[in-house]
Amino acid sequence: MCGVIGEDGLVPRARSRLPVVCAAGLSLLMLVFAWLLDSDSFRERAEMFLFCLTVERFIHSMCLFAEEWLVHSRQRYRGRINEIFQACFQGHVILGMCAIFLMLMFGAVSFSHEQWSTMAITCAVYLLLNSLGVLGPAPVEISEICEVKKMNVAHGLAWSFYIGYLKFVLPDLQNKINQYSSTRVKLSSPRLHILLPLNAVVPTKPEEEDTNVVFHENLPELELDIAGVRNRSYKNCVYKINQDNKTFSCVLEYATPLRTLYQMSQESSAGFGERERKQQVLLFYRTLSQILENSLECRNRYRLVLLNDEHTGDPHYLSRVIIQHLKQQDGEIHMDPIREPPNEIHPVPEEGQIRNFKSALYATFPEDPMSSEPTLMFSPPQSLRSEPVETTDYYK
């Protein structure tokens, strides 16, 4: 036998129902023990505690409903009260409250003032402990929920997209664009535009979605030795976007992991449908934004373009959105690389906040750095709700 641990020792197995069986067995033993100690008042006490548990869960669900309705109704549920209700209230809690209401209305159960006081204190203590997180799920329970609900898909895909692709491509993007622009037309933007459709439908070619988006040519390839593959090729494409007799050019591509999300939504064994797929796309967008914002080597070299899937009837929606992003970048403050004296190595700013006044002035006016005053250009107010805010300080 070889000395390597087998697959069974590396790959975790799916969790079984053993905790449920153990809890059910222990609960049965405790109920029998309580009945043996005081069989006369066993039924009355059982009804009181069932009443407390049901009311506690119902009040907790009401608190959740207040948060979702008042704060997240439009963003998460598009104002649909029935979806908020389904997300906050479990079916057995509603049935339990209905049963309690009917029993109290018809006098099937009655409690003394002392019992009502005890139940009120029990509910108050439960809500307090639950709000403080004392009764929250254990880490192993959270892990099981994520595995069962397939909630880690988008997070893993975002990290895979960054580690396996963007981390190689984005830092070298400026060099490839410089090589391209030295012999060809200058691009409208030096960034990689990553398209993320909310419906996760990724066409083979952007021309299939919009005829105004036309493939032009490829940037110089990047070849790396990765995972045993020699000279693995990474390349990006330049597209021309036509609108109103004007032509824009930029580097763009779809986020390929979204193809995985779409294919998974078509498989019943994957565990989520269209609504869950859309939530995963949004989670993918948010996670990827956070990853790239925290990456110094990728910052300001990309543009995430979130595409709404509710644009039926507009055949040129894609080109319109891309051009809107390009125009917005034209109005942003941009700095050309600083021209440094030979044999000196200094950081070269690309875009961001201007803090080193002398270096910025020398980069902008190399011939006569003190002959004129610096000018700041500001873009007109535009909505940035759906885009991450990028701030860069290369002098910090």
Number of independent structural domains in the chain: 2
Domain that residue 82 falls in: 17-136
State the pLDDT at residue 192. Answer: 93
Residue 316 belongs to a domain: yes
pLDDT classification of 21: cutoffs 50, 70, 90? very high
Q: CATH number, domain at 212?
A: 3.40.50.12100
Query: Higher confidence at residue 149 or residue 361?
Result: 149
Residue 384 belongs to a domain: no
Shared domain for 313 and 250, answered yes or no, is yes
- Residue 243: phi, psi to the nearest 5? -160, 125
Residue 48 belongs to a domain: yes
pLDDT tens-digit profile of 177-214?
888 877 777 888 889 999 999 889 899 999 988 889 99
Shared domain for 61 and 158, answered yes or no, is no
Contacts of 292 (CB under 8 A, 6+ apart): 162, 166, 170, 298, 299, 302, 304, 388
Contacts of 186 (CB under 8 A, 6+ apart): none
Shared domain for 83 and 175, answered yes or no, is no
Shared domain for 312 and 170, answered yes or no, is yes
**Residue 238 to residue 240: CA distance in whole angstroms:** 7
Closest CA to 386 of 78, 75, 155, 160: 75
State the pLDDT at residue 353. Answer: 43
Instruction: Indicate the average pLDDT of the chain.
Output: 79
**Residue 231 to residue 296: CA distance in whole angstroms:** 26
Residue 260 belongs to a domain: yes
